[in-house]
Amino acid sequence: MKRLFAFLISVFLLASTACANGNSKETISSDKGELSDMKISIQITSDSGNHKLTAILADNSSATAFYQLLKKGPLTVDMHDYGSFEKVGSLGTSLPRNDSQITTKAGDIILYQGNQITIYYDTNSWNFTRLGKVDGVTQAELKKILGKGDVTAVFEILR
């Protein structure tokens, strides 16, 4: 009787796992909480020229809302330097916030106060919402790309 019960439990667990894996559309995410299917491009115009960056958005409702906003078309943001560690500009709209205490790193894309977007080229600690992370550039490269003055950033879905 115990063997039959153990066998039935094993079959039930195996069937439950198979159903869960087979019937849901999974989003592949990295261990950094990023969604691999929510990629964007960022065209930066700065005193160092024109540069195209790519980024992977974070796995949170703020990044999803940002992605939905970009589905309507490219978003141009005029950004200025703040604190010698970030470029910041107004989104022109508010997105849901998922603020938590974090320390930024170069390449982090952050939602600030729900209506401003920042691209970090150095570190800062505060209550922020992470929107994503720029791919494939070092801190030194990002500092050069963002330049010393104001920049224009065009965010759009990577196609």
98: pLDDT strictly greater than 80: yes
pLDDT value, residue 59: 95
pLDDT band at 36 (very low <50, low <70, confident <90, very high): low
- The per-residue pLDDT of the chain, averaged, comes to 83
Is the distance from CB of 87 to CB of 79 less than 8 angstroms? yes
Helices (H), 73-157: 139-146
129 vs 57: CA distance, rounded Å:
12
pLDDT value, residue 159: 82
8: pLDDT strictly greater than 50: no
pLDDT tens by residue, 14-31? 333 333 333 322 222 333
150: pLDDT strictly greater than 70: yes
Coil, helix or strand at residue 46: strand
Residues 46, 124, 134, 66, Cα dihedral to 10°: -90
Of 26 and 4, more confident: 4
Residues 113, 115, 117, 123, Cα dihedral to 10°: 0
1: pLDDT strictly greater than 80: no
pLDDT tens by residue, 73-84? 999 999 999 999
Closest CA relative to residue 85, chosen from 118, 41, 112, 39: 118
pTM for the model: 0.77
pLDDT band at 9 (very low <50, low <70, confident <90, very high): very low
Tell me the mean pLDDT in the region 99-120: 97
pLDDT band at 3 (very low <50, low <70, confident <90, very high): low
78 vs 87: CA distance, rounded Å:
9
pLDDT value, residue 31: 35
111 vs 98: CA distance, rounded Å:
9
